[in-house]
Structure 1
Amino acid sequence: MSLFLCVDCGGSKTSTVITNAAGDIVGRAHGGPSNFAYIGLQAFLLAVGATVSDALKTCVSPPSVDPVTLPPTSPLFAAAWFGVSGVNSQGAIDAINPPLSALLGIPVGPNLMVTNDVNLVAAPLRLYDDVDCAVACIAGTGSYVTSFKEGEGMELKEMGRAGGWGWILGDEGGGFSVGREAIRQILLDADIASVEGPPPPPKEGKSTLVKYICDLYSAPDVYELLTVVHLPDPAPGAHVIDSKVPNYAQTIREKRLSQLAPLVFRSAFEDKDPVAMKVLRTSSSVLVDQICILLRPGALRGVSASNGVLCFGGSLVGIEVYRQLILEQLKERGHVFKHIAVVEDVAAIGAKGLALATAGRV
């Protein structure tokens, strides 16, 4: 059986798509987070193995009710492409390749491709014949921006990169960044009010963003949010059963902030809350800063927006109003892309492209 596999390994979920040699999708599954840098090799392999096994259930005849055992007893995959968040070096790729090879029964080599997940988002570069570069911008739980030009085979040639440092050092413009900026803005406003007195309330009343976040954490005062943010992570594998223990104490610190992003978007675009809008403008601005690092045509590996396609991937930039904030700020800085592509199903695009590019040589 000649199957082609693509797995999009993200900080929130794992998406797996399997196609036949014609590029038709024959299997699909979703699983839990598989950011390699965050969860480590063994948890990564468990997450990947579970979703690939589930996707294979629909690829066998007759379809299986139970997960398909890995590694397969006979070769199933002609080629596989893993786009893995948290893979930012050749050392990480070298650590992943052998166990993936053993798990899937694919020899280490050109038919087993491991890249950062941002490479999958740049796949639309091959859909246009009037551009010579792509900038892939991922903004979901985290963020990462990379520029590409055409390479050999399925590989795209990476030109430059910005961000992708993880939640402690970066992830500007992603869900964690939005949540962190929301807390920062709420606390900053409270600090200013402690000196100048509270500002006049908006016509609609108290900021809905403040209300949503304080209600979520049962915080009677905004400064109680400091306790929520800085409380240590729960012990690995620990399960709090005391109903008196707040929910946030059972949540790792990164998620305590990234889970605020939907509240910020709701407050900004449904309630027209000025505090929430300021948060999103700030968060999108720092993401634009990173995109602009790559847009330096005169630099050795710089690219030009006017000759390129901007490829968006991830839950936050999947929201049109947030994309527009980014595009407006890019235009203000003199950067207008020839094409804009929103990649909603990166695993499907990766699997189809892999099948079409490799079917003739494997």
Structure 2
Amino acid sequence: MPASTLVLGGDLGGTSTRIVIADPEGNVVGRGAAAGGNPTSHPTTAAANFGQALHTALTGLDPARVGAAVIGAAGGSALAVPEVKAQFDAAWSGAGLATEAQFLGDLEVAFASGTPEPDGHVLISGTGSNAGLVVDHRLVRTAGGHGWLLGDEGSGFWLGREAVRSVLLAFDLEEPLGLLGESVLQALLPGHDSAIFAQRDGYEIVRNDVIRVVNNRPPVLLAELARTVVSSYEQGDKTAHALVKRAADLLIETVGRIRTTKDTTPLILAGSVAGEQSPVGRLLREAFHEQFEGEILTARDGVSGATWLALGALDPALANEANHTRLVS
């Protein structure tokens, strides 16, 4: 392996695309970023953003020096569609890169960003939710991750949907909404005046408005209401507290499908809902320590985890703890 050989790590997320170029000692020599690169949502735009981030990261560098590349992709299964893959391949070759890129799911990259250990479990809860078992740095089993229509229990989407459902239940019962309910209404119907409930058919009018607004938006946007749930939780709202606890319980149940209570390998938590500052994340950590053995760690920068995996793809000896610390910390 020539001393001038470089590796490339990438993270294609729903809101951002990030690329890192590093040398064999784990020193970052190039970075690039662009808007969302998730190949599922808008493949043409995502591929263009991917190309932009690649060009920026490679500024002043010879693309021929890149000897290995690992890219984590949320919605990476879309790359199995020939038309979508062709657009990403064009962006790759258009940046002057000749080595073959290895595309991995976001679970593997999240796990690698949290620990250099080869085996363990990872749980992601952000907009969606998913859990995986990693053996020798490779994903061998998953639980959850079925998308907003069929699953994503305990995720930001789930929190937002359940918050709206709690409002609709209050309408059915003609009960006071409480802090969370009022906050959800203000988010969905800005300028809403609660005095309408004193009118005849007031509940029905507002209920129909809520249903109309929610159904006229992309379903995934319900995840934006997760912030409303968290804010109401922090102000002591009982419904928000119940939703946060249920979200944590569902995520622990998801992990329990693929992890035994005696497993001592690390569990990596990733995503905003599972984060250390999130009330769901705090309850997750408490519940995990009560029900499972093993260390619980927080995922760091996903693109750094991908870059570390790229070092291992170039030479397994380079996937060491020192390089992991250098890249991820």
Shift of 1:342: 0.7
* SS of the residue 1:276 aligns to: helix
2:194 is the counterpart of 1:230: no
Q: Equivalents in 2 of 1:114, 1:319: separation in Å?
A: 28
- Of 322, 338, 343, the residue aligned with 2:280 is 322
TM-score normalised to the size of structure 2?
Answer: 0.79
2:213 is the counterpart of 1:254: no
Shift of 1:95: 5.7
The structure-2 alpha-carbon separation of the partners of 1:330 and 1:21, relative to structure 1 and needing over 3 Å to count, comes to closer
- Of 254, 264, 281, the residue aligned with 1:290 is 254
Deviations 1:77-105 (A, max 9, x none): 22111111112488359963744652444
- Taking only the aligned residue pairs, the percentage that are identical comes to 24
Q: Equivalents in 1 of 2:275, 2:252: separation in Å?
A: 16
Shift of 1:327: 3.1
Q: 1:171 touches 1:177 (CA, 8 Å); kept in 2? A: yes
* SS of the residue 2:76 aligns to: coil
**Structure 1 equivalent of residue 231 of structure 2:** 266
Deviations 1:182-216 (A, max 9, x none): 1112222332x33xxx36xxxxxx73222222122
2:51 is the counterpart of 1:56: no
State the Cα RMSD in Å: 3.0
Shift of 1:331: 5.0
**Structure 1 equivalent of residue 327 of structure 2:** none
Q: Map 1:1-362 onto structure 2 (within 5 A).
A: 2-40=5-43, 42-57=44-59, 60=60, 75-88=64-77, 91=80, 96=85, 98-99=89-90, 101-107=92-98, 109=100, 112-123=101-112, 127-128=116-117, 133-150=119-136, 156-191=137-172, 193-194=173-174, 198=175, 207-216=178-187, 217-218=189-190, 219-220=192-193, 223=207, 224-231=209-216, 233=217, 252-255=218-221, 257-269=222-234, 271-296=235-260, 306-320=263-277, 321-330=279-288, 334=291, 336-355=292-311, 358-359=314-315
Q: Equivalents in 2 of 1:283, 1:306: separation in Å?
A: 23
Structure holding more helix per residue: 2
The structure-2 alpha-carbon separation of the partners of 1:343 and 1:125, relative to structure 1 and needing over 3 Å to count, comes to closer
Deviations 1:284-316 (A, max 9, x none): 2222222111124xxxxxxx6532111112222
Q: Equivalents in 2 of 1:143, 1:93: separation in Å?
A: 27
Moved over 6 A (4+): none
* SS of the residue 2:251 aligns to: helix
Q: 2:8 touches 2:22 (CA, 8 Å); kept in 1? A: yes
Q: Equivalents in 1 of 2:145, 2:102: separation in Å?
A: 20
Counterpart code for 1:230 = N
**Structure 2 equivalent of residue 65 of structure 1:** none
Shift of 1:318: 1.8
Structure 1 unaligned residues grouped into runs of 5+? 62-71, 151-155, 200-205, 234-251, 297-303
Counterpart code for 1:254 = V
The structure-2 alpha-carbon separation of the partners of 1:114 and 1:100, relative to structure 1 and needing over 3 Å to count, comes to farther
Counterpart code for 1:190 = F
TM-score normalised to the size of structure 1?
Answer: 0.72
Count matched residues.
298
Deviations 1:243-278 (A, max 9, x none): xxxxxxxxx3422x1111112111112x12111111
The structure-2 alpha-carbon separation of the partners of 1:212 and 1:31, relative to structure 1 and needing over 3 Å to count, comes to farther
Q: 2:154 touches 2:250 (CA, 8 Å); kept in 1? A: yes
Shift of 1:283: 2.2
Q: Equivalents in 1 of 2:120, 2:317: separation in Å?
A: 26
The structure-2 alpha-carbon separation of the partners of 1:147 and 1:118, relative to structure 1 and needing over 3 Å to count, comes to same
Counterpart code for 1:136 = V
**Structure 2 equivalent of residue 300 of structure 1:** none
Counterpart code for 2:245 = R
